[in-house]
Amino acid sequence: MRRFVLLSLAAAAALAACSSGPPRRGDRDGEDDRVGAAYRQSAFLTGAALLFVQFDADRDYATSRAETEAGARAEWARASGGADKLTPIVFEQWAARALGGPQMGPYRLAFDSNVDNEITATEFSAAILDKFDRYDTDKDGVLRRPDMTERLPDRRGPAGPPADARVQKAPPRR
């Protein structure tokens, strides 16, 4: 116990030392221009994008709607273990394995369309296909890697991030 307390104090001191220091020159509240530019270039993949990459059966770096439908059926079989419905606990266990964590999204309520705390195969597939449709902005029936990449919201401006700091779609790469 004493060792744990000492290690915790050492970790807290190290974090405090790393976070202290004078503000750097920058455009706002000590923000370094290089850090701001790097942030504005940042993008990420959601848990749903990880699924779509996995569904790419022919490994051509593009996931078709047919591959997504087959992938959703296979993922349902894996998630449900043969059961008719997923409980919230079973869903969270699946999300931790398949999506990288229960907080990676899409979230349980996106799958539980009637909010009865049970997810059926129909709801499961519909949620995945809905996400596919949202990512497929050009409506060509295929998701490519840039379709799945999302940009972080722009933090610039006098008041910081906008009140509805939604994630923005990355522009297509050429």
pLDDT tens digits for range 19-31: 555 544 444 554 4
Res 155: pLDDT:
61
Spatial separation of the C-alpha atoms in residues 153 and 1, rounded to whole Å: 43
- 80-90 pLDDT, tens digit per residue, is 999 999 999 99
Q: Please report the DSSP string for 91-109 in residue order.
A: HHHHHHHHTSSTTSSS-HH
Q: What is the CATH number of domain 46-149?
A: 1.10.238
The pTM is what?
0.64
What are the structural domain ranges in the chain?
46-149
Name every residue whose Cβ is closer than 8 Å to that of residue 64 and which is 6 or more positions away in sequence. 141, 142, 143
